Amino acid sequence: MSAQTSLDALESVKPILGSLRAQVHAHIKACQSNGATDDEIEVALDLRHQTASARRRELVQLGFVVDSGVRRPTRSGRKAKVWVTTPPPEREAPEPTAGYTGTLGPPPPPAL
């Protein structure tokens, strides 16, 4: 496969990936504190393992989902991590930085 073909393939699935990520997040969030394993996500959303786990991993990397510390058996009987959504961060205005002038670049030199 050529590099251009790979890039074209990536561009064609970008909208789908975002939608699938949102579906995975919504499912985990709907499970509340019970959370969901990758296996449970696959079944609930009718996704292949590779698709479900990749979208959940993206959510972990973005900070929207974390390992709850709980392990639960999958359909195969193996123990799997249970994922839960993170609470939304509190949005507080950052403290002004000393010397910040509201412009890009270093602060102006002190007046003489």
**CATH code for the domain in which residue 44 is found:** 1.10.10.10
The answer to whether position 108 is within a domain reads no
The answer to whether position 77 is within a domain reads yes
The domain tally of the chain equals 1
If you count them, how many residues does the chain have?
A: 112
The answer to whether position 20 is within a domain reads yes
pTM, 2 dp: 0.66
The answer to whether position 18 is within a domain reads yes
Query: Do residues 35 and 82 lie in contact, with contact meaning Cβ atoms separated by under 8 Å?
Result: yes
* Banded pLDDT at 17 (limits 50, 70, 90): low
- CA dist., res. 105 & res. 112, Å (int): 20
Higher-confidence position of 109 and 52: 52
Question: What contacts 71, CB < 8 A, 6 or more positions away?
Answer: 79, 80, 81, 82
pLDDT tens track for 37-85: 999 999 999 999 999 999 999 999 988 899 999 999 999 999 999 999 9
The answer to whether position 2 is within a domain reads no
Higher-confidence position of 54 and 97: 54
% of the chain at pLDDT higher than 90 = 53
When the pLDDT of each residue in the chain is averaged and rounded to a whole number, the result is 79
* Banded pLDDT at 108 (limits 50, 70, 90): low
The answer to whether position 80 is within a domain reads yes
Which domain, by its residues, includes 80? 12-85
The answer to whether position 67 is within a domain reads yes
The answer to whether position 81 is within a domain reads yes
